[in-house]
Amino acid sequence: MVLAIGIDLGGTKIRGVLVDEKGRVIKSYERPTQAHEPRRKIIKNILEVVSYLRTSKVKGVGMASPGFALPNGCMSCMPNIKKLEGFNLKKELEKKTRLKVYLENDANCFALAEHMRGAAKGCRHSIGVIMGTGIGTGIIIDNKIYRGALGGAGEAGHTKLVIDNQVREVEELISGPGIVQRYEQLSNRKAYSPRIILDKKDKYARQVYDETAFYTGLFFANLINIFNPEAVVVGGGVSNLPFYADVRRVVNKYAHPFMAKSCKISKHLLGDDAGAIGAAELVLSSR
């Protein structure tokens, strides 16, 4: 039996899983990242997770992280773990663990996990969208992650929509903080979660809900028109909003009819382990 370790490295916590050849989670472990601490402490925390999960049958470690790893193994675009910016994490972890290490963007790992084992299983082409603190997108073409020229493909949260004659970023409009901020500005009330927009007795909540479903539908319609996927799988905290029927109506209106009809839009199936499972898949698919 071949096993792999998958790690989801976030600004707050490090989530690790031990996965078998069928993608089943055998064991898991989690600890704080301590991103404010010196780099050696962050690396020590990662190694603690690896050590806890490691067995003699482990063939490698996959890691999902914010930003992305450049071809030389150095980390780039790491605003929440600044101590790792420009650092060759792959080389350091391989030296410490004596295992093959694979680094990948966290949205790409989410998309790969749902494609191989979750809501998009059986598809050849799919897109994973994480709607949380920000908007992350992973693109799977012919069962492989599409990375682009430098590894930065899929930063679709930074694409733009024109709203009221203003150019706005998608991330600003449909991320969790974006939804909360828009509600607070309209209502002059404090909100602590995007779920505030489900209050149907609140006219401001209804307005922001309608806007969120519309902007999300436009965003998905653009992705479908460009990539023609068989599935769009949604993760992150915002994915828990029951807005899928309304988003689908917008997609059906603005995406090419043939491509819209052939693409399912659904919530993720793998839960909080998706990023770590996708990271483990990097190891399993490399054999």
pTM comes to 0.94
Interval 102-140: pLDDT, tens: 999 999 999 999 999 999 999 999 999 999 989 999 999
Whether 180 and 139 map to the same domain: the answer is yes
Whether 250 is covered by a domain: the verdict is yes
The residues near 2 (Cβ < 8 Å, ≥ 6 apart) are: 20, 21, 57, 59, 284, 287
Task: Report pLDDT for 63.
Answer: 95
Lowest mean pLDDT among 77-91, 174-188, 206-220, 221-235: 77-91
Whether 107 and 140 map to the same domain: the answer is no
- What CATH number did the domain enclosing 228 receive? 3.30.420.40
Whether 253 is covered by a domain: the verdict is yes
Whether 245 and 208 map to the same domain: the answer is yes
- Please report where in the chains the tokens 């979660």 appear, as a residue: 193
In this structure, what DSSP letter does residue 286 have?
T
Whether 14 and 98 map to the same domain: the answer is yes
49: which 2 tokens? 């997770």
Q: Average pLDDT of 142-152? A: 90
Task: Report pLDDT for 149.
Answer: 86
Domain carrying residue 104: 3-111+272-284
Whether 98 and 150 map to the same domain: the answer is no
Whether 116 is covered by a domain: the verdict is no
Whether 117 is covered by a domain: the verdict is no
In this structure, what DSSP letter does residue 230 have?
S
Q: What is the dihedral of CA 86, 64, 135, 231, to 10 degrees?
A: 140
Cα atoms in the Cβ-side hemisphere of radius 13 Å centred on 101: 23
Whether 40 and 163 map to the same domain: the answer is no
Kindly indicate the confidence band of residue 38, based on its pLDDT and cuts at 50, 70 and 90.
very high
Whether 46 and 107 map to the same domain: the answer is yes
Whether 77 and 188 map to the same domain: the answer is no
The residues near 271 (Cβ < 8 Å, ≥ 6 apart) are: none
Q: Average pLDDT of 261-268? A: 98
Whether 118 is covered by a domain: the verdict is no
Interval 56-71: pLDDT, tens: 999 999 999 988 777 7
**Given a cut of 90, is residue 216 above it in pLDDT?**
yes
Whether 54 and 171 map to the same domain: the answer is no
Whether 70 and 183 map to the same domain: the answer is no
Burial 74-99 (b: 16+ CB within 10 A, else e): bbeebebbebbeebbbbebbbeebeb
Domain count, the chain: 2
Task: Please list the helix, strand and coil fractions of the chain in percent, rounded to the nearest 5, in that order.
Answer: 45, 25, 30
Whether 261 and 277 map to the same domain: the answer is no
Kindly indicate the confidence band of residue 287, based on its pLDDT and cuts at 50, 70 and 90.
low
231: which 2 tokens? 């599935």
Whether 63 and 103 map to the same domain: the answer is yes
